[in-house]
Amino acid sequence: MLKIMNVSHEYDNEIILHDISLTIESKTFTVITGESGSGKSTLLSIISTLLKPTKGEIFFDGKASREISDINMFRNQKIGFIFQFHYLISHLNVHENIAMVTKRSRSEIKELLDKLDISHLSAKYPDQISGGQRQRVAIARAMINRPEFIFADEPTGNLDSKNSKIVFDLLRELDATVIVATHALSRILPSDRVIKLKDGKLC
């Protein structure tokens, strides 16, 4: 379980997030939405340990993130990140982009790529595949070490609607606690848990 307790954040003395408290159950899918500038990325960065809040605390299964002794190891082992831009390495092929972050075997990587319907692209380089396929490779890279948590910031910000739907459907099916920040309201389903931000406040 993930607990966000009384989180506030300021940039340059301007309050960006106002006293946010939330509980997110394990292995659930949650969408953080709101207009551009409402604080989605800031909140997701705080939840995912990339940014320390000005006030408040995040608890991972009861443990305060400030008290995790090796936060880099914690991130490596427990968290998968997906961003708007895929950050694949252009000089490595699809297989190698994933292999570089994991000790898992070639066949385990292939199995995951099969699931994401991109295993036929293993030997291709990022600029030889489509934007939607690149984002699926980025998802595979985030998932390969089977993290407990997957955090995605505008993962479909660069994709057309067909590929956006594919990416959202994949994220919903992951066996992890998944939190996605997006302004793409059209991708949200009635069954999704939605956290709406307006001017840095929950609404």
13 vs 69 by CB, closer to ligand ADP: 13
- Conformation bin of residue 135: beta by default, left when phi > 0, alpha when psi is -120 to 50: alpha
Residue 162 CB, nearest approach to Mg ion (Å): 23
41 vs 122 by CB, closer to Mg ion: 41
> How many whole angstroms separate alpha carbon 140 and alpha carbon 88?
11
Residue 21 CB, nearest approach to ligand ADP (Å): 18
Using CB under 5 A as the binding rule, whether residue 48 contacts Mg ion is answered as no
Residue 92 CB, nearest approach to ligand ADP (Å): 29
* Residues binding ligand ADP (CB under 6 A): 11-12, 16, 34, 36-42
Q: Tokens in use for 85?
A: 């831009």
11 vs 87 by CB, closer to ligand ADP: 11
93 vs 182 by CB, closer to ligand ADP: 182
Residue 47 CB, nearest approach to ligand ADP (Å): 12
> How many whole angstroms separate alpha carbon 165 and alpha carbon 21?
29
| Selected binder of Mg ion within 38, 41, 97, 122 (CB under 5 A) | 41
> How many whole angstroms separate alpha carbon 203 and alpha carbon 198?
6
Q: Would you give the end-to-end CA distance of the chain in angstroms?
A: 22
Residue 164 CB, nearest approach to ligand ADP (Å): 17
142: enclosing H helix or E strand? helix 131-143
41 vs 133 by CB, closer to Mg ion: 41
CB atoms within 10 A of CB 153: 20
What per-residue string of b and e applies to 155-182 under the rule 16 or more CB within 10 Å gives b?
bbebbeeebbebbbebbeebebbbbbbb
Interface with Mg ion by CB under 5 A: which residues?
A: 40-41
